[in-house]
Structure 1
């Protein structure tokens, strides 16, 4: 918000509009007062452009002093009626003075005949133009306020997304870190190379997760890399009890999605699925692109004798909430349990970089 003109472009449009009105007033003066075209232009154009500046500043600051959301409609109407009458009266008087100055030059092309009808026309036109200026300023002020409100809402959404991502990081099972460190400690004596590899994998996983920003989407390839790093660390702890399978199409790898969407799903698959199986099982990551939609699925083996539980509720609720915030009704989350297989499927728009 920069004064009554609202920036350089607004100033250009404002001056252009008033200049067009000045030319129209010149034609009106020529027909009303019977003056020549040069007389009418010399009289009307400088006068109306001067009124444009005074009218714009007066109407703008009046609009700021009497905001629509804080004042009643009748009080605003009364104030602007009085302001319009005063501004128009001053403009009519200025027109008389300007015309007298032109006529004092003694030139035939200077000045017009200021008849009563001419003065009434100027006064009425001044009232109308002041009202239009006030209306335009109110519209511009409300538009700027709406944009500021939208900007604040977007900033709040970004802040909320960042907070959600930070919360998600804190929800990564602390036992995962402790168990990983214990596994590294156990490997240092029996398998130093394995301990070093696991340490590097653990550092890489947390480096990726801490560098993510909630409002910046990542490719499925990057998201899949972090999920596989997590599973690789868990494989050291579970050994042959945990196998990882993936079926990912090449065209799906370039698709964008919110960061750490797969993380809670693979974590649940290991913790609540494979962790309850004595003989172990598999975690499968499936990704395909079907036209304008991207389909992701995480499957894991479960104990068929255990009843279906709501232990996946927090992770699924988190994923569902983040997808809803990013895509609205275009995204969906479904889960199913069939005997010894638990499956979570995500459907979201297939976006790509530069699209």
Structure 2
């Protein structure tokens, strides 16, 4: 009963059904006892609305106490049948009391003659209507249970997805940290000043990344601040061999992206591109908004052998980004990569959102 009356709409529908049944009962009473229709309706409709609540609450608590498939079909059927018979006779008693009140009014359109045949009919109808109430409550209870189970499953999937995304994000920090510490170790004896500057940049990088960790998404502008810290660290290592070009289109910097979604791509560009080329090269980072979509590209020169390895999609960076995009945007986002002449490029496409709910 609580599930049905939980909303105003459910209550109205429930009462309208029983009102319709009351009108039908009034018609049956009128035909069975040759009573004027007005008298039959005055007798049947109020009595039926009372029975709607009496049968409704009784059926609700019994359906709760005897869920389907838990106590056996026979005990459940016996309890429900006994309750239906008791409510049927109780309905007859209430009907007689209500009819007595109507007869006391002393007007021609109130009161009926309750014959033995009509009494039996009222009890039988009471049993049948109680069965209707039981079936209705079982249906509603099972529907609510299935809905709650689906909601719990969805919540579990969301929690698992968030845990997976956190795991994927935490994979980035150790991967980058190990490379940076190795570089600082190498610079300590050769260039202590550069090693100190690299240490400070590394501290700034992780301070920025920790600030972003609490957010599911950050603006592309904030992501680019992190990228610049990263590239400043790498430029200490490579000096003039590493050049950077940025092209952030209008409206792109305000779009939201998963934190550290570009950093693995830039790190791969350094590791698989600049690191393997004695003459170095230029890393190009491009971002533009096209309607409801945001396009981000990272391109760098590559050695021929390393280009073939990356073209097969090996490496933690590309795999991480692909999984995080799939977890955050499903089929709405995608990533593509490939080699064009002596350049390797990675292109990301995702919804252009400026709020957590999306545009």
> TM-score band (shorter)?
0.7 to 0.9
Matching of residue 293 in structure 1 with residue 293 in structure 2: yes
Residue 241 of structure 1 contacts residue 280 of structure 1 at CA under 8 Å; is this kept in 2?
yes
Is 1:251–2:251 an aligned residue pair? yes
Map 1:233-272 to 2 at 5 A.
Answer: 233-272=233-272
Q: Is the 8 A contact 1:208 1:226 kept in 2?
A: no
Gap change, CA 1:4 and 1:201, over 3 Å in 2: closer
Larger deviation, residues 45-54 vs 11-20: 11-20
Where 1:253 maps in the other structure, the secondary structure is: coil
**Closer, same or farther in 2 for the Cα pair 1:45/1:328, shift >3 Å?**
same
Superposed, 1:316-331 pairs within 5 Å as 316-331=318-333
- Aligned residue for 1:97? 96
Deviation sequence 1:227-260 (CA, Å, 0-9, x none): 3333333333433222222233223334444333
Could you say if the C-alpha distance between residues 306 and 220 of structure 1 is closer, same or farther in structure 2, counting changes exceeding 3 Å?
Answer: closer
The alpha carbon displacement at 1:297 in A equals 2.2
Q: 5+ residue gaps in structure 1?
A: none
Check if 1:206 corresponds to 2:205: no
Counterpart check, 1:336 vs 2:335: no
Contact 1:183/1:236, CA 8 A, preserved across alignment: no
Correspondence 1:134 to 2:118: no
- TM-score between the two structures when normalised by the length of structure 1: 0.78
> Are residues 1:219 and 2:219 paired?
yes
Map Cα deviations across residues 148-196 of structure 1 (whole Å, 9 max, x no partner).
2233233223322332233234322222452586699799974799579
Shift of 1:69: 6.1
SS of the residue corresponding to residue 287 of structure 1 reads strand
Question: For the residues of structure 1 that align with 2:239 and 2:113, how far apart are their CA atoms?
Answer: 103
1:1-355 alignment, distance < 5 Å: 3=2, 5=4, 7-9=6-8, 10-26=10-26, 28-30=28-30, 32-35=32-35, 39-68=39-68, 78=77, 82=81, 85-86=84-85, 89-99=88-98, 101-102=100-101, 105=104, 107-108=106-107, 109-115=109-115, 118-119=118-119, 121-172=121-172, 173=175, 174-176=177-179, 178=181, 190=193, 198=201, 201-213=204-216, 217-306=217-306, 308-309=308-309, 312-353=314-355, 355=359
Secondary structure in structure 2 of the residue aligned to 1:346: strand
CA distance in 2 between partners of 1:7 and 1:246 (Å): 57
**In 2, Cα distance between the equivalents of 1:130 and 1:200?**
73
Q: 1:176 to 1:58 in 2, by over 3 A?
A: farther
Structure 2 portions without partners, runs of 5+: none
Change (3 A) 1:163 1:45: same
Contact 2:66 2:76 in 1 (8 A): no
Does the 8 Å contact 1:285/1:299 carry over to 2? Answer: yes
Q: Which string of whole-angstrom CA distances, capped at 9 and with x for unpartnered residues, describes residues 51-81 of structure 1?
A: 2222222322333344446578x76995587
Distance 2:303 2:80 in 1: 80
Length-normalised TM-score, structure 2:
0.77
Provide the aligned length of Structure 1 versus Structure 2: 350
